[in-house]
Amino acid sequence: MADRDASEPPGPAAAAELRDFLTEVPAPAAVGHRIVHSGPHLTGHTLIDARVRALLADVADLAPLHVTPALPVVDAAQELLPDVPHVACFDTVFHRDLPAPARTYAVPERWRAEHGLRRYGFHGLSYAWALERTAQALGRPVGILQVVLVHLGGGCSACAVRNGRSVDTTMGLTPLEGLVMSRRSGSLDPGALLWLQRRHGLSTDELDDALHRHSGLLGLSGTSGDTRDLVRARAEGDAAAALALATFTLSCRRGIASMAASLDRLDALVFTGEIGEDQPEVREEICSALTVLGVRGGLLVPDLEDLMREGIRRIDHPGSSVPVLVVATGETQQIAAETRRVLDM
C-alpha cells in the first residue's frame, strides 16, 4: 500500500495531487471518502451518485470547514476514476440512533420541523474504530459496554456509548458545538452572539470566521492552537498559555461528566485523536480532576511508537476502578472497512 498525507485542507491543487498519486500506485477497486456531515436524508454510508452528490452540496454549510473542501475532491476522484465505485462514509452515522432527548434542541417546534434543527454528532468514524479496539482490549463484547469516548484533535468531542450505541454526544447540528477546540470556540452562550450582533454590529460572516478559525485554544492563548506549543509556553511562564490549557481541560472534564450522566456505569474512559494520543499532560490534567467518576490521575505514558504499532494501550494503574485507554486514531482504516461493507467486498 501507499499513502500520501497533507497537513492542510484540500485546495485547488488537490486534483493534480491526486492525479500524481494515482500514477504511482495500483488502480484501486473502490474509493472511500470521509464526509463529515450526512444531513437529514442520508442515514448510512452510501455509494455516491448524482442524487447523493446533490444532497451533500445542500448540507455543506452545516460543516463548512469539512464538507465544502471535500466535495471538489470527490468530483476530482470521480473524474479520474470513473469506473470504480465511490462511497461516502459519514461521521454522523455512528450517532444516527441518538435517543430523542439527546438529539432534540429546546427550541420552537416550527424550527425543528421546518428547518430540521437537531443534534447530529460527529467524529463517528473515529468513535466506531475506538469502540471496537476498546472491546477487544477489555475482552468484552461491544454490545454490553458503557463507555465515554473522547476525540481530541483539531476538533474535539465526547460521546457516551451504551451497549454499543451512541446515546449522547457533545457536538450538535454542526461541529462547532461542545468542547473547546484548537481554533473553534465550542459551546457559547447564544445570548452572547445576539449581543455581539446587536450591540457591536458584528456580521454573520465575522462571527463565522471568528468562531471557526480564531477561537478555541488559539483565541485563548493568542499564539497557538496546538497543545504541544502551549504546554511548552506554560512551562516558560506564559500566563495566557496556562489559561488556555486550564480552560480546555475543564471543558473536556465537563464534557466527559455530562456524557457519563447518560450511562448507568462507566466501564472505561477512552482517549483518541491527535491530542488524545500524544499529549500526556492533557490526559493527566483531565483525569486527575475526575475522581467524582472514579477516574484517577497518575496515568502511565505509553511510548508513541508502541501505541501506533499496537493500536491501543491501557494507561491507568492496576487496581483502578475505571480503566483509562488510549486508542491510536483509525479513521482511515474505518473508512476502508465501511467502504468494503457498502460494496460487500
DSSP 286-336: HHTT-GGGT--S------HHHHHHHSEEE-SPTT-SS-EEEE---HHHHHH
DSSP symbol at 94? G
Bridge pairing between strands 31-35 and 86-90: parallel
Q: Are the CB atoms for 179 and 158 separated by under 8 Å? A: yes
Q: Catalytic: 209?
A: no
Residue 287: how many other CB atoms lie within 10 Å: 26
Amino acid, res. 22: L
Q: Alpha-carbon distance 120 to 125, whole Å?
A: 14
Alpha-helical regions (H) of 23-99: 50-59, 67-80
How many helices, marked H, and strands, marked E, lie in the chain?
15, 9
Catalytic residue among 5, 61, 75, 91: 91
Q: Alpha-carbon distance 177 to 185, whole Å?
A: 8
Query: Burial letters for 330-343: b for 16+ Cβ neighbours within 10 Å, e otherwise?
Result: bbeebbbbbbeebe
Q: Alpha-carbon distance 83 to 257, whole Å?
A: 48
Residue 75: how many other CB atoms lie within 10 Å: 15
Q: Are the CB atoms for 80 and 144 separated by under 8 Å? A: no
SS3 83: coil
Q: Alpha-carbon distance 269 to 208, whole Å?
A: 33
- Using alpha carbons, select from 30, 37, 97 the residue that is nearest to residue 62: 37
Q: Alpha-carbon distance 130 to 330, whole Å?
A: 7
Q: Alpha-carbon distance 59 to 21, whole Å?
A: 29
Residues that are catalytic: 91
